[in-house]
């Protein structure tokens, strides 16, 4: 826990939530290689939807915050070891809140609803046949969806490695966030292509925190609620995600009148 500032700190103190040491910086971990959610610009700074989200959340809460780029397979372990305070890296909210970890990891309220997924294949391929191996990410719910469709899920921590294995034919496809995969396909049209869009394979996205970080969790939840009510989340979504029918429906669903 770090410094929690007025006005949200006042609310949390009234609720008896723990605060933190003054003057310290809240560190958010991210893979920094998953555009448009997070990526490094030419100056080595984290940019994208989640960078804008972090800066806006921290400004409203009066927090000093920063990003720490971390390899995907180290995200959860680093959080458990206290190397950073939270993970903001297109991480899906688990269907079971303790996620089998005994409560060691907690989650904020969602900052994005379940976004459409897509299937990436090699440029000379079609949709994989039943029984084929299909890549999914370890922080995604897509493994169950892939299994329900009759494929064999292969779990990756690193999306770049999953894409490379699609190109090499090690896996027949890769199911992941549509906005991310569309950018990859546009950048590498000679090697990969999108075989299907608008797949209902993933869950809503949330901030992951240590299970004992109730003070920071409360601040993030209160700030996200405020940003949803005033339309800021919808505005950031419209900025970073293509205005297709699917993504526009997702952005529209973030307005307070649309349920929640």
User: Which two three-digit tokens encode residue 72?
Assistant: 């995907």
CA separation (Å) from 169 to 148, 152, 172? 22, 15, 6
Asked whether 70 and 78 are in contact (CB, 8 A), the reply is yes
Distance (Å, whole) CA 104 – CA 211 = 5
> Residue 52's closest CA among 210, 215, 241?
241
Distance (Å, whole) CA 162 – CA 160 = 5
Q: What is the CATH number assigned to the segment(s) 117-199?
A: 3.40.190.10
What integer pLDDT is reported at residue 24 of this predicted model? 73
Q: What is the CATH number assigned to the segment(s) 8-113+205-258?
A: 3.40.190.10
Beta-carbon count within 10 A of 45 CB: 11
Task: Name the 3-class secondary structure at 107.
Answer: strand
Distance (Å, whole) CA 253 – CA 155 = 30
Where in the chain are all domains bearing CATH 3.40.190.10? 8-113+205-258, 117-199
Q: pLDDT in tens for each of the 260 residues of the chain?
A: 444 444 444 444 343 333 444 457 999 999 999 999 999 999 999 999 999 999 999 999 999 999 999 998 889 999 999 999 999 999 999 887 554 455 689 999 999 999 999 999 999 999 999 999 999 999 899 999 999 999 999 999 999 999 999 999 999 999 999 999 999 999 999 999 999 999 999 999 999 999 888 899 999 999 999 999 999 999 999 999 965 434 333 333 333 333 33
> Angle at CA 97, nearest 5°, toward 175 and 158?
35
């Amino acid at each position: 826990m770090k410094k929690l500032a007025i006005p949200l700190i006042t609310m949390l103190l009234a609720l008896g939530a723990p605060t933190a040491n003054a003057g310290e910086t809240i560190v958010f971990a991210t893979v920094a290689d998953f555009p448009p959610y997070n990526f490094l610009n030419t100056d080595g700074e984290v940019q994208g939807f989640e960078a804008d989200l972090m800066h806006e959340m921290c400004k409203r809460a009066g927090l000093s915050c920063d990003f720490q780029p971390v390899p995907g397979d180290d995200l959860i372990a680093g959080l458990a070891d206290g190397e950073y305070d939270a993970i903001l890296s297109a991480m899906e909210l688990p269907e079971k809140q303790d996620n089998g970890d005994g409560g060691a990891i907690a989650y904020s309220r969602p900052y994005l609803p379940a976004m459409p997924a897509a299937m990436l294949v090699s440029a000379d391929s079609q949709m994989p046949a039943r029984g084929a191996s299909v890549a999914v990410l370890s922080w995604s719910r897509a493994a169950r969806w892939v299994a329900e469709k009759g494929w064999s899920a292969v779990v990756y921590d690193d999306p770049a490695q999953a894409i490379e294995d699609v190109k090499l034919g090690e896996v027949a496809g890769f199911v992941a966030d549509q906005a991310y995969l569309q950018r990859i396909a546009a950048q590498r049209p000679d090697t990969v292509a999108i075989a299907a869009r608008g797949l209902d394979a993933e869950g809503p996205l949330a901030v992951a925190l240590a299970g004992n970080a109730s003070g920071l969790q409360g601040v993030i939840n209160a700030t996200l609620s405020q940003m949803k009510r005033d339309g800021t989340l919808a505005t950031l979504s419209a900025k970073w995600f293509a205005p297709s029918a699917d993504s526009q429906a997702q952005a529209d669903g973030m307005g307070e009148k649309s349920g929640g």
